[in-house]
Amino acid sequence: MRTSHKAPGADGRKTQHGRAIAPERGITRTRQGFALEAALLLLVMFSIIILAGLSAVSTMAKTSSADYRASRASYAAEGGADDIMSQLDAAMQDGIISGQDIAQLQTPALTGYRITQTTQTTGVPISRTISSGPFAGLYSLNQPIDISVSARDSSGNKATAVLSVNAQTIPLFQFGVFYESDLEILPGAPMTFVGWVHTNGNLYLSTSSVNFQSQLTTPDS
């Protein structure tokens, strides 16, 4: 019995013992679930972007709120300092600022804030020559005063306003005449007056018999 062998044909097949054997080929397998993985990856990326955006918005909101509250506290402190200034101005009506005037200052009150204030004189009054304004040329006593007003809200936001002011007093002995209400000067006989004349009311003068060698001042007529 003879066994026949056939040479490989053009199709790459060969026979063995009368049977055709197919050559081995590479096997291609389709990866299962790739679309699902890609969708999950995109979902994670979008989630990260959204969370980052929300975090940025939250941070900006907190920062804006902190700035807003800090600004309100600053305005509250400045308002308190203005109140102290008005009290000092009223105390200056008698011409001087004393330790008793400082002690009697009332701490301002503002709803929603706790206000504290410290007001004190620094040093002793200093004599200076007034260089500008209606009383230029006169001497004044200048008392430096330091004012510190703090305002704190219920959230702990705090601001402090610090002012250094000058309480100026003009001694009356520098005036030839200093009058509170309407002043009338009609001497009759000729008169020459050397000193400064000031009245807080109206000033009535004779234009023919009186000569003033210094200034005449009045806030009225």
pTM of the model: 0.57
d(CA 204, CA 212) in angstroms, rounded, equals 13
- What are the pLDDT digits (tens) for 69-86? 888 888 999 999 999 999
d(CA 139, CA 119) in angstroms, rounded, equals 26
Number of Cβ within a 10 Å radius of residue 74: 16
- What are the pLDDT digits (tens) for 6-26? 555 545 455 455 555 555 555
**Model confidence band, residue 151 (pLDDT cutoffs 50, 70, 90):** very high
Which residue has 């020459």 as its token pair?
A: 192
Got the DSSP string for 71-97? HHHHHHHHHHHHHHHHHHHHHGGGS--
**Quick one: pLDDT at residue 1?**
47
Q: What are residue 164's DSSP bridge partners? A: 146
Residue type, 115: I
- Residues 6 or more apart whose Cβ sits within 8 Å of residue 118: 146, 147, 148
d(CA 110, CA 162) in angstroms, rounded, equals 18
Q: How far is CA 34 from CA 39, 46, 77, 82, in A?
A: 9, 18, 65, 72
